[in-house]
Amino acid sequence: MHYTETCDQTKVSLITHVHTTPATGHDSQWTALIQDAFSERNLLPREHIVDAGYTAAELLLRSAQDHQITLVGPPRPQAGWQTKVAGAYSNEQFTVDWERQQVSS
């Protein structure tokens, strides 16, 4: 089950959407469907804050393009074939300067 709630520190938090799915599906499969449901109900947020299971590069782009939503969440740690190839880059090799919006190695 995936539920969405409001998160304004000055107001009461409300559950705005519940999406029930089979346990065998990965969370990222449901991000776009959840956002489509927001759109159908005219409840699109400016930011959709999620955990790492709901993020992927494609979803970051689709959220912005389809619904003008900024999808905010941590990247998946050490995911993908890149971490298994000798000499490939890893997350530890980069420094992120969030204030300047720059990444360096």
Query: Which amino acid makes up residue 49?
Result: I
10-43 burial string, b = 16+ CB within 10 Å, else e? eeeeeeeeeeeeeeeeebbebbbebbebbeeeee
Tokens 């409300």 — which residue? 14
Specify whether the backbone of 23 is left (phi greater than 0), alpha (psi in -120 to 50) or beta. alpha
What per-residue confidence (pLDDT) applies to 39?
A: 93
What per-residue confidence (pLDDT) applies to 95?
A: 87
pTM here?
0.63
What per-residue confidence (pLDDT) applies to 79?
A: 59
What per-residue confidence (pLDDT) applies to 78?
A: 62
